[in-house]
Homo-oligomer: A and B are copies of this chain.
């Protein structure tokens, strides 16, 4: 029932090899036959059988994406970007979710590797060695993380933090808290580094800005809820959270305790997930270009596949972050720090 290359060959009055060539490399056949073949193929609605092609070329036409948790609103954006770009290049995308479990992650990479030409993996959890090992087995692009010479797409966390700090300092904040995510997270370390750099880059060399690091906490809503009280106890006037989920947890707990945001304490998140704009007050957040991250990941992977293993020309992409200022940040309170509140 399905139309094969033979049908096209018969219809065009040529051999199957000619059909194959006419459709693959336009240079390999005469213009006349190419035309004839292409018309025949179009008329019959011919679609090459991917299994057959894959069998001989050794390629699947698929790429894999591994994310720790699809329910984290950061990732759907990335998936969308990947989809779009992959479709343009006639690739299909397998998405796999590891439920934040590094063991599952490793197993999944193994399993998926057989079914795809390469994979993009957003994995804060896997160890560097495991990643390096995986990278030797299959073309690999890392998202939001750098390990050795493995191609990666990252966001300029340091600059994002610079913007956040500049914003807070301009508002008069001098006692800033940072709620850490998982210590093993590359992004977490990077953000902390950026934070410190940003502070020492302020007007007075950062002398009068005090940074309190809290954590680490789970990168989820509950983590933020748990961290909120510590932030209050620490007497900071502004908190920057590892990500938006944590920031929402903070916000939630502050409201529950009757602490005014941003009147008494300002909150900044990271990722700019959709929910950030939906809460009250709307959350100021460091926006990461999610879709672009996905697209760039595919781009790098495609380049990698083209060079079939040798390191691509541009093996790293760093994307800009930018601060979305909303209502959860405001002037620092002049009154005593919220320590002595209910």
Please report the C-alpha to C-alpha distance between residue A251 and residue B115 in the assembled complex, in whole angstroms: 45
For chain A, give the interface size range.
35 or more
- The oligomer's copy count stands at 2
Partner of A92, one of B54, B73, B94, B277: B94
A256 at interface, CB cutoff 8 A:
yes
Q: Which residue of B lies closest to A72 (CB)?
A: B76
A278 within 8 A of B: yes
Tell whether A97 is near chain B: CB-to-CB under 8 Å. yes
Chain B CB within 8 A of A307 CB = no
Residues of chain B within 8 A (CB-CB) of A95 are 79, 83, 93, 95
Contact A71 B71 (CB under 8 A): no
Q: Across the interface, do B278 and A248 meet the contact criterion of CB distance under 8 Å?
A: yes
Q: Are B71 and A83 in contact (CB under 8 A)?
A: no
The 8 closest A-B pairs by CB, nearest first: A51-B54, A70-B76, A275-B275, A51-B55, A255-B280, A248-B278, A51-B51, A95-B95
Extra contacts, 6 of them, besides A51-B55, A93-B94, A279-B280 (Cβ < 8 A), are: A50-B60, A51-B52, A71-B274, A221-B274, A221-B278, A275-B275
Q: Chain A: residues with CB nearer than 8 A to chain B?
A: 47, 49-52, 54-55, 60, 70-71, 73, 75-77, 79-80, 83, 92-97, 99, 112, 114-115, 221, 245, 248-249, 251-252, 255-256, 274-275, 277-280
